[in-house]
Structure 1
Amino acid sequence: MSISDRNHQILNELVNNPSITSMTLEKKYNLTRRQLGYSFRQINDWLMANNLPVIERTRKGYFIIDQSVFTKLDSGQEKILVENNILSVEQRIYLILIMLISSEEELSLHHFTSELDVSKNTVLNDLKQAQAFLSAFDLSIRYTRRWGYLIEGQEFQVRKLLMKVTYQVLQINNGTNRIQKITGLQNEQVDEFHQRIENVENKLYLKFTDEKIETMPYILILIKRRIKQENKINPFSIAYEELSDTKEYQATEEILYDLQEIPVTERLFITLHLLSTNVYWSESSMDEAIPNLAPAIDHMLRRFEKNACIYFQYREELLNKLLQHIKPAYYRIKYQLTEFIDIHNSLGKEFIGIHHLVKRSLSPLAELIGCDIPEHETRYITMLIGGWMRKQGESFEKKVKAIVVCPQGISVSRLMFTELRELFPEFVFLDSLSVREFFDYKLDYDIVFSPTFLQTDKKLFISKAFIGREEKQRLRKQVMLELHGYIPSDIDVHHILDIINHHTTIKNESALIEDLQAYIHRDEESNIKHRNEQNDFILSDFITPNHITLRDDVESWEEAIRISAQPLIESGNITKGYIEAMVNHQHDPYIVIGPNIAIPHAPPEEGVNEVGMSLLRLKEKVQFTSEHGIHLIIIIAAVDKKQHINALMQLMKLASVEHDRNKLIHANSIKEVHQIINLYSNDNHR
């Protein structure tokens, strides 16, 4: 994301002279208050895109700048791409397209080379790239000797292109002069429509964003030109009743008061353009024309708060800002007037996780509109919500982020995800994943919950998919002790009061606060002893030579479990009941951890006396299922979810290396097997 020359100058002025006032800036750069406000918002958008704190402005016109802004800009990040007179390929493409859209004469190569001041070969190459750009709009460029170069396709798509390209051309250095020269528009024409639009603002009691105020006169004049050239929109699926009763339709009538020849379909399209135009401020109720919009956004925001484990301060103010943006977005999305704006690079690292949770929270809005929310609209909502979080001091990065990995199907996976999220309301739960999805997962996370063992360098907590109340309490204590060394009671009583106030009337607030604090901070963990030192067992500590058995074959999977577990019976690590429990759990698919290798196990309470492992090697595989034949069976007896984890990770590394797996299968002695086990017991082994 680049920044314009004017905004670059203002930002440098603020950094070099932070005590300057708004009034002084307006005079120095010959700006109106509105123009300075527009520049100020663009500067803050650029700062957010570069993961820097925004600059705040006080009521008296002074500026508050975070120290990190000075540090970053002084260290060289002030090297901003400022547009100059040398046009980029992308800028030349936009100029070519505005020529094709607005031209009142036949266009030849000479017109393009003259306007862009480049060679014919450069223009021909630019035309090819312009054609690639138009594919997103289902449009094409065609050349005939009679008509020269022109755009072909549905006029509705051309109008969408017009909105996009007009904005982009005006962002080019000296863009206003360029577009007026290309289109042949005079200042008087633009000023007249500008005045008409400002009159509309007053009638509608709102203010369009400055970029829209700048682009709308050109868009409306060029639409009028295309209508005159008989490039009219075909009737499209638009509800006349939905738009004709809006203030924007009446505003369209005022804008076009002297243009009676414009048909109703075109008037509806211009109304739609006004409805889908972003506003900076509005005095009217934003949802009055769209039933259920406010409840849908409120529902969306509550889903986000739950997903992100936060509670928004000044929630109504944020809700109004979202309403202000989402009302025009509603019309853009519903009538396919999305502007193909790519703001991918404008999301900082912290916003990526927030964006993921925003997407998961959008279903109420999608259901109201009747279609999915486009990516660029989602990203803009992310920036609004992320900026609000930063404003109130919420850091998404500091929160514990968890994922749930479950190989037992979607239904079980979602149930496990829901129960764990309720058990750990202070964690951000990003996703529930299959094992395959887990190994390709891109988002940052801190901990993993899974009913099976996974190879990961993050904290792994083994949890059954279905856990009872006592198991939940044990799991919560285990996780909190592992992460914090204690069980935190960080629930904010005042947030709870806000929630209660939302649903009922509190008769005695001070007494309620006292009772809630007594309950939240009750001493129920005094009997928990946390071991600061944990034995870090390695694989060879468990799979010793006398815990290794070699056989050529066995008759069944059940027999394989019994033979493999026999050394643990003899050493007293497990009881015979544990063997029967493993046999009963044999159909669990996550027992198989790799080709030819399986790890039968059962809950510790089924008969584990002491942590241990044992290994059975079969030269002829035994069928675990119709899909899996197994040569290596490693029995795992765990007394808790910690002592065996390091050894298990080493075993997972071994399971992933085909060469060493095959050496185990074809080993001729227990000594050979144990040598490979020793090799993977070294944490430095790769």
Structure 2
Amino acid sequence: MSEKYKEIVRYLLNVNHEKIESLTRRFDIASEEVANLANDINEHLRKKVVINNGEMVYIATEFTSMIAEYYQIPIDELTPIYKPEVRRDIAFLKIALNDEYLSLDNVSEHCLASKNTLTNDIKVINRYIYENDIFIEYQRKYGYLLKGQELNIRAEIMNVVDRMFQYPNGRSLLEEKVIMVKGEYFLLTERIRKLESKLDITLSDEYLNKLPYIILIMIKRSEITDKEWDLSIKFQDLSNTKEFKEIQGLFWGYPELSKRDLTYLALVFLGANRVDLKTESDVKSEIKIEEFVDFITMKLEEKLAFNFKNNQFKSKLTQHLIPALVRKNLKLTIENPVTDDFIQRYYPVYEVVKEIIDGYKNIGLDEAEIVYLAMIVLGHMYYINNEEYRNNKELKAVVVCHSGHSISELMKVQLKDMFPDVNYVGTCSMRQFYEASLNVDIVFSTIPLNTNKKVFIMENIFSDKGREEFKKKVESYFELDPNIKTRQLMNFLKDVIPEENYEEIQDKAHTFFETEEEEFNNSLGLLEEHQIKFVRDKGIFQMAAKGLNLLKNRGSINQNYFDSTMDIFEEKYQTMIIGPNIYLPHAPVEEGAIREDYQLLINPSLEKCVLCISPESNNAHVKKLLELNGLFTDDLFMKRLYKSNEKDLVKLIEGSYECGIW
């Protein structure tokens, strides 16, 4: 081997891996020569010790000694770990990535140094990290443990990784002494490259080389960080941005990461560190947020001739502005699913808010952020205008939204248009809903809630079709619930009913609806587990026969009902449906229906269902069929149904029904 090739091998053993383009520039050789060198080494050693993927050359740490010995490269040239600065950084990372005290023996063995040397090293480390309010505590009985603010600890870890990259074989040492996961670097690098393309950003070569190591080390740190720690930028401030959603894909193999860790790692990817990260306090100091809110309030009053001097309104505005400005500083693009629809329906409000924001110190928020602010403005105007009218209504509701206050305010406006006779007592987050124990009759929510109150899940209510479907579902519930019907009736008649007779008439009205109430309550349990079965039959007639046999075996129908139903179904199956590709084979009660019963058969491969029924003579089954029809005509529910199983499907049906998806 020529001296030049030997020099390249020595360099690769030190750096562990390098881009082919960098090697060609550094050693003035062609990329073909690099490929030939890698092949020669693998052939001579009869192992694939050098990996060449066309862009980068990689030597696994476990083969370093073998290659050095074969090409007679002194091993001490490859082990600068004995240098004090390297040894201290390795020691710091060893302690930082353990959640228990480490003995002096453990640390000295890891760093290949004596106990006295390591004792002095840790004193030196403490001197330069103390200014960051972190320190390595020593207890004679237990050993060493790193303590301090978590954000400061992570910042120092990043500083150490930066320094490690200045050492000749720093990357090899990080893999061997810190990460200790072979091949993980390559996998993460490939994901980062793809993410660059998706986000249309370009990371510097230097940062791209470091980033996989930083991420892997931070993941190891997160695994040992059980206690809560402060990160001023919240998960919810970034979670609905396009960039953040894509960045989370980097970490699909680490499901144990908390939302706080995901947020921190996303900021690391974007190149943010403790020095240049714009936190909420930074935003407040750079832009006087109270002054900004007062400016918006004053301009709104001038342009809309409306009183916005309300502390609650200002508080809501502040709550959204701070994370909005943080996102702007990080160049993150928020995703607002109702942007286009809102601008189309409420353009005058949007235009006023945009003009005001653009007029304050050239801040220039993007369209989606301005729509969120306009939602808050519109919601406040609606609230003030309708307060007196709202207080006279009997039926009370609250709006719960996981996405943020501005979305829930807009949803309240939409709900007011659909159900004007409901008293909307407010909007809140899921956490606030559980803490407040609100006295309401119904809950409109964007997410499922664990509550005994009636919950309606709001999906797609910003489209005309979605609003119409949702309105029908809610009105159907109002029609079925006798308590609501009684209260609505009494509220309607209260002005003409003498006060002394009010309670008596209310009792009579409730008695009038009592029969319906009993039937309504009895209909809540839709299907039991034994009434649901997944099948792989080739057609709907085989499915119908199987379902009817199950009903017969349970004693719900006799053989005559079975035969009559199959005859009718084979002739009229095209009209015997309860939803798209949902067939309803049945016969008159007198043909042999013994008791009310149901059997649902689901064929995911055909994406078809058959619901066999044994009807009741008093038509009690009709309500349940209507409720099931609501489920079977819901596209989202049907997609979930075909991906479910028998056990989970009972919960899916009951959960969807209870949450208003029917």
- By the TM > 0.5 criterion, same fold? no
Q: TM-score, normalised by structure 2?
A: 0.31
Bigger RCO of structures 1 and 2 (CA < 8 A, at least 6 apart)? 1
